[in-house]
Amino acid sequence: MSFRHTTGFTVEFGDCDPLRIVFYPNYFRWMDAAFRQFFEAAGVPSWHETERSDGIFGAPLVEATARFLKSATFGDRIAVDTSVAEWRGKSFVVAHAIRRADEVLVEGREVRILARRHPDDPARIQAAAPPEWLRAKLG
């Protein structure tokens, strides 16, 4: 079974647009923050450590989508449920469900890679296959 983690946020006044609902880019900001919390909660070491052990120094985003089902507003407590939905050769799909209590507001997906330095040009990055220890931690 896949590891799951929930990260909580409070919608602040500055997160909202003139209609007093969350301005949509903030959902992507919360998904990105929840992704990092997900890795930490699963016990994934820091990028400094994984660069030393596996040459991997980050998990850049290569695609992001969202379905906006309902809106949130100032003062709402929201939760972002995060898990890995699919492992691919050199990428993986992260699923997010943003909810207020039991009500799903947004369904989001991110495609990420694990980055390492390109062997011919260290200023460039290259996608790395996820190590088995990472797959085991995240499911």
Delimit the domains of the chain by residue range: 4-138
* The CATH fold of domain 4-138: Thiol Ester Dehydrase; Chain A (3.10.129)
- Tell me which residues are annotated as active site: 17
> In the chain, which residue ranges form alpha helices assigned H by DSSP?
25-41, 47-54, 132-138
Of the candidates 10, 9, 28, 29, the residue with the CA atom closest to the CA atom of residue 74: 10
- With H, G, I as helix, E, B as strand and everything else as coil, classify residue 92: strand
- Assigned token pair, 128: 């790395």
Q: Would you give per-residue pLDDT tens digits along the chain (139 residues)?
A: 689 999 999 999 999 999 999 999 999 999 999 999 999 999 999 999 999 999 999 999 999 999 999 999 999 999 999 999 999 999 999 999 999 999 999 999 999 999 999 999 989 999 999 999 999 999 8
pTM value is 0.93
